[in-house]
Amino acid sequence: MNVRGIATRLRTGAVLALLPVLALTACGSGDGSGGATPGAGTSRASADDPVAAVREVKSVAALLPADVRAAGRLRVGSSIGFPPGAYYPNGSDRPPAGQDIDIADAVAKVLGVELERQDASFETILPALGSGKYDFGTGNFGVTTERLKTIDFVTYINDGQGFAVRKGNTALSTKVTDLTRLCGLTIGTGAGTTFEATLTARKDVCAKAGKKPYEVKVYSENGATLTALQQGRTDVIMSTINGLRHQAAQPASRTTFLGEYHRLDVGFAFAKGSPLTEAFRAAVNELIDSGTYARILKKWGTSASAIETARINPPEHT
């Protein structure tokens, strides 16, 4: 079996191990009202499906290019990793679920278009935007100075970088605020991510501190990253704050979250100069104003990462 096939099996096994508790998380979202009055783009939504009642908002849809409005469809490259962002609760042959899925679906409904979702590995999506393969991409893409050179973003949440270890790990037991704390350890992370970029850019910190360098192992699937940690092939994971926090709350993961390292705005990704960004920003802001956005985040336990307004290409957090 090829490497991609092995990674897929590892991802499926890891997700299936978490299913009993994930089902509880996905449904335990309160009354769904969020204390907000439904606006033009929504009506009253149920607790477990705040997207169901979202409706097209003509004034926002009018911001789309005429050819997109005529086609009524947008192609999205989606990286389906792990909850709460995006995952397969019932196997990869069934629809995905998660915070990113709900927000993208809600935006599409406000814009009056259908989404043609294509599952893709994280590291392939941004390069494919330039070739026109997708109209936009999702996958917890953090806004960085380097990415802004070739990618346009419309922000929809504030997440970022964090660390996690196996439960009971003694080498790391407190929050990682300095990468020198990782010296001599093996770190697992995702291919093509801001985590890989950060670790690569700072790889000389241990030598400068007179310590043994850390080793980075890169995986194309989040499930494979978790499996490597559980099996002791890595000492620590660097990944998304919300993903690692959610993961650590599931007993089957056997991980401990070590806190936030660096916050990043997260957004829908577009080819540079895309004519879609203004419409997407208006759609996200419509969801924020209507209360649907708050209900989606409440459903997935990510309310602490809410933004007040969507922005196009904000500078990277320092």
How does pLDDT run across 206-256, given as a tens digit for each residue?
999 999 999 999 998 888 999 999 999 999 999 999 999 999 999 999 999
Average pLDDT estimate for 95-114: 97
In whole angstroms, what is the distance from residue 42 CA to residue 60 CA?
A: 13
Q: What is the pLDDT of residue 47?
A: 56
Mean pLDDT of 272-287: 98
- At residue 205, does pLDDT exceed 60? yes
pLDDT band at 135 (very low <50, low <70, confident <90, very high): very high
Length of the chain in terms of residues written: 318
Please say if the pLDDT value at position 34 is more than 70: no
Q: How large a percentage of the chain has pLDDT more than 70?
A: 85
pLDDT of res. 222: 83
pLDDT of 28 above 70 = no
Binning pLDDT at 50, 70 and 90, where does residue 173 land? confident
Q: What is the mean pLDDT of the chain?
A: 86
Whole-model pTM over 0.75: yes
- The encoded tokens of residue 55 equal 């409706």
